[in-house]
Structure 1
Amino acid sequence: MTHGQAGGQAGGKPHAQPQESASAPAQTLRRTLGLFDAVTIGLGAMIGAGIFASLGPAADAAGSGLFYGLAIAGFVAYCNAMASARLAALYPVAGGTYVYGRERLGEFWGYLAGWAFVVGKTASCAAMALTVGTYVWPGQAHAVAVGAVAMLTALNCLGVQKAAWMNRVIVALVLSVLAAVVVVCVGSSQSGTEGAPAGVTGVLQSAGLLFFAFAGYARIATLGEEVRDPARTIPRAIPLALGITLVVYAAVALAVVSVLGTGGLATASAPLADAVRAAGASGLAPVVRAGAAVAALGALLALILGVSRTTLAMARDRHLPGVLAAVHPRFQVPQRAEIAVGVVVAVLAATADLRAAIGFSSFGVLLYYAIANASAWTLSSRLRARALPALGLVGCLVLAATLPASSVLWGAVVIAVGAGVFFVRRTLIPVRK
């Protein structure tokens, strides 16, 4: 990977201007986050609406093999996160794999990572909005979802940002709700029906769907500009946050399955609320619904912010329409990118199915992390150092390929369209000097 390695050096001419631009924020952002803050941010990104939404589709795919799928999803997430951690320590700038792929593999792979992130996380936004609707008002889930997107987009356009203390409040609230679900379900004598055992393909498909619930872990890595001693803090924070999350997810899944069974879980529209109701604690169901809605709103706010900022970065590099690169002079936010993302998410939230949105999101995000692992592969020539990114790369591609057929088909079409746009643009428009 001589070309990619050359691009990562200060004098690498092909990437000199993008690298300079990407490095500019480092002059203004302060390194204030320690290990505790980094772990809390990781927990806030992972322990949220994903666990409220993805258990049902995963149980439908895997049946009694649900927990094998959870273990596989957790392992692939770990491989991806450690690859992102190594890259973030080397490139402590904003942009994530959009930067890593460009610097290590070349401009096209960085662009493809950014495109996969934007389309995958846009679907994640729709899934979070639909989760809000499903738990708040099941009969009008799409209308509530569109309203939530409109409200948060308007707030983002005014410069509203989620502070670190608010992240801690949301994490504490969601953990409290999940703990209550576990206690109620474990103490119940109710038992559900087991789903039919699934083969290897079903287990892998469930792992791909459950990966959706882990997909926020790399937010720790993307904060490389603001973490104190990132080369030491980030590699410690990621496995800690992932380990805590995996334990929480396993406990919740075991508790819910003990009441609903994998068969009942597979057909539940709001699995955790249905579980506490089946366990005889109907009074707790509104609390669970409220907790799910708060978690989903927090995740949706952060996702819209992240997608709009990646859209802004790609627009600045002319990979997306340049009009989206404008920053509002008063509120200092990319309002046009915010509005564009909000409109697309609202359309998806009004028309898409929650399970389809989860599958499509997982496909795009898995390809994004596949490029992160390929980028990490170039960091060392030692076999031992390459083992984890190699496993992560293979794991991402396998899980993406075994997602529901409609998710794979539409995901492949959208990724192919993005790649086609890149090559047409390179052919018709001269590369900027």
Structure 2
Amino acid sequence: MTAPASPPSGALARRLNLGDAVVIGLGSMIGAGIFASFAPAAAAAGAGLLIGLVLAGFIAFCNATSSAQLAAQYPTSGGTYVYGRERLGAWPGFVAGWSFVVGKTASSAAMAITFATYAVPAAWVKPVAILAVLALTVVNTLGITRTALLTRILVAVSLLALTVAIVIGFSHTAASAAAPGVAVTPYGVLQSAGFLFFAFAGYARIATMGEEVVNPARTIPRAITTALAIALVVYALVAVSALHALGPAGLASATAPLSAVADTTGAAWPGVVIRIGAAAAALGALLAMIAGIGRTSLAMARNRDLPGWFAAVHPRFHVPYRAELALGLVVCVLVAVTDLRGAIGFSSFGVLLYYFVANLSAWTQDRANRRYPRVLALLGALGCLVLVVTLPLGSIVAGVVVLAVGVGYRAVRVRLAR
């Protein structure tokens, strides 16, 4: 049999099939969502987080359809950064790419901390989180097929642990479950949806890897919608079972909600299973995030929206190794100075702007490249704007400042180039 041709110099290799792409999307979503965003969502909306989950899921679906049809038309690395440039112009593309890179860099730090929080005693959290970032950065630089294989293992472990948590949540109740949570208000529900949207953003990793997927026009749309549907079902089961076991107030105050669910049994082994699953889910999310940010950074560097040094592709492993190594170092620094809940709001700000640009880009596609009703792109764009303004004020301010830094950098570079 003739060996597959090597990709041209500077290009990535198409090695991911449908199953690989779905697993990478699941690895990104499940780790980030279930173990990080339910507690702040419950603090914002109490039992109304279930309404927030439905709202976040619908907006994510709109965004997913836009991303899927754009990825089919532009099957290259970079995701909405590329789509924005192609459909709207260089500046909207840059805003999308910059928002994605900074937002997901913050959430990479959050996932590293989540992993260490479940895996080791409190005194060891920061050092172990940094070691995890370094180790997974090395895995990513060894090739995308290794990333997909490790993600597949981590997702399997995570889903097993979540199954245990769901069964316990529906069959046990803590004494504090009857305590009332915060009053359910429209603003609180919208804010909870903003937090929970953070949980659905993993399918973006599939689109950013368009240059490495086999038959992307067919594979990427199917992978995005499949991964999102599976994640939504899992989230709904976990949310309802956790509310049953802990109540809105208990869920809002829990630092490790699913461990608290496991503790309702009075036995030790469920807590061990949950901790292993949580650690695996966080590692899976971190692994996929590093891969996705590296590909977006590669696309931006190719257009000089980031330093061209980051555009290098390893001649053997066909990955953007410089971008990924630099990212790993930045995440290690953030791990040392950030906390989990603050990173969630900041990340949601960046990701919602990213998908706002994606929806506007999909709105401009012609009929030949449109796979879904055009109204979904409009609803997705409006939904992203609504959720952005309901995030905590600190997250909005931080997001605006960092966005301004990126815009200022590009404005200076464009002026110097002229």
Instruction: State whether TM-score is above 0.5.
Output: yes
Q: 1:160 to 1:80 in 2, by over 3 A?
A: closer
- The answer as to whether partners of 2:42 and 2:49 remain within 8 angstroms in 1 is yes
Q: 1:27 to 1:297 in 2, by over 3 A?
A: closer
Q: Confirm whether residue 396 of structure 1 aligns to residue 380 of structure 2.
A: no
Q: Confirm whether residue 153 of structure 1 aligns to residue 137 of structure 2.
A: yes
Summarize the alignment of residues 278-293 of structure 1 with structure 2, pairs less than 5 Å apart. 278-293=264-279
CA distance in 2, matches of 1:271, 1:165: 28
Equivalent residue number for residue 3 of structure 2: none
Q: 1:41 to 1:266 in 2, by over 3 A?
A: same
- Aligned pairs, number: 406
Equivalent residue number for residue 358 of structure 2: 372
Q: 1:266 to 1:315 in 2, by over 3 A?
A: same
- The answer as to whether partners of 1:77 and 1:214 remain within 8 angstroms in 2 is yes
- The answer as to whether partners of 1:94 and 1:223 remain within 8 angstroms in 2 is yes
Q: 1:189 to 1:266 in 2, by over 3 A?
A: closer
CA offset digits 1:130-155 (Å, max 9, x no partner): 10122123523333222222332344
TM-score computed with the length of structure 1 as normaliser: 0.86
Equivalent residue number for residue 325 of structure 2: 339
CA offset digits 1:377-407 (Å, max 9, x no partner): 101489x932100100011111111111111
- The answer as to whether partners of 2:13 and 2:318 remain within 8 angstroms in 1 is no
Q: Which gives a bigger RCO, structure 1 or 2 (Cα 8 Å, sep 6+)? A: 2
Q: 1:159 to 1:227 in 2, by over 3 A?
A: closer
Question: Structure 1 residue runs of 4+, over 6 Å off?
Answer: 23-28
Q: Confirm whether residue 99 of structure 1 aligns to residue 87 of structure 2.
A: no
Equivalent residue number for residue 157 of structure 2: 173
Equivalent residue number for residue 51 of structure 1: 34
Equivalent residue number for residue 106 of structure 2: 123
Equivalent residue number for residue 413 of structure 1: 401
| Aligned partner of 2:46 among 63, 85, 89 | 63
CA distance in 2, matches of 1:139, 1:61: 26
Q: CA deviation at 1:167?
A: 3.0
- The answer as to whether partners of 2:115 and 2:129 remain within 8 angstroms in 1 is yes
CA distance in 1, matches of 2:153, 2:139: 19
Q: Confirm whether residue 183 of structure 1 aligns to residue 167 of structure 2.
A: yes
Equivalent residue number for residue 352 of structure 1: 338
- For residue 220 of structure 1, what is the amino acid of its counterpart? I
CA offset digits 1:179-212 (Å, max 9, x no partner): 1011112111435123112321111111111111
Q: Confirm whether residue 424 of structure 1 aligns to residue 412 of structure 2.
A: yes
Q: 1:357 to 1:161 in 2, by over 3 A?
A: farther
The alignment's C-alpha RMSD in Å is 2.5
| Aligned partner of 2:281 among 295, 298, 304 | 295
Q: 1:55 to 1:189 in 2, by over 3 A?
A: closer
Secondary structure, in 3 states, of the residue corresponding to 1:216?
helix
- For residue 120 of structure 1, what is the amino acid of its counterpart? G
CA offset digits 1:308-327 (Å, max 9, x no partner): 23223322322122333344
Q: Confirm whether residue 162 of structure 1 aligns to residue 146 of structure 2.
A: yes
TM-score computed with the length of structure 2 as normaliser: 0.89
- The answer as to whether partners of 1:73 and 1:211 remain within 8 angstroms in 2 is yes
Greater shift in the superposed pair: 289-298 or 316-325: 316-325
CA distance in 2, matches of 1:412, 1:26: 34
Q: 1:412 to 1:40 in 2, by over 3 A?
A: same
Segments of structure 2 that go 5 or more residues without pairing to the other structure are: 1-6
CA distance in 2, matches of 1:101, 1:304: 22
- For residue 409 of structure 1, what is the amino acid of its counterpart? V
- The answer as to whether partners of 2:144 and 2:319 remain within 8 angstroms in 1 is no
- The answer as to whether partners of 1:205 and 1:402 remain within 8 angstroms in 2 is yes
Greater shift in the superposed pair: 264-273 or 415-424: 415-424
Segments of structure 1 that go 5 or more residues without pairing to the other structure are: 1-22
Q: 1:103 to 1:168 in 2, by over 3 A?
A: same
- The answer as to whether partners of 2:32 and 2:198 remain within 8 angstroms in 1 is no
- The answer as to whether partners of 2:295 and 2:320 remain within 8 angstroms in 1 is yes
- The answer as to whether partners of 1:115 and 1:418 remain within 8 angstroms in 2 is yes
- The answer as to whether partners of 1:185 and 1:279 remain within 8 angstroms in 2 is no
CA distance in 2, matches of 1:323, 1:230: 27
| Aligned partner of 1:205 among 191, 203, 228 | 191
- The answer as to whether partners of 1:380 and 1:386 remain within 8 angstroms in 2 is no
Q: Confirm whether residue 277 of structure 1 aligns to residue 301 of structure 2.
A: no
Q: CA deviation at 1:277?
A: 0.6
- For residue 238 of structure 2, what is the amino acid of its counterpart? V
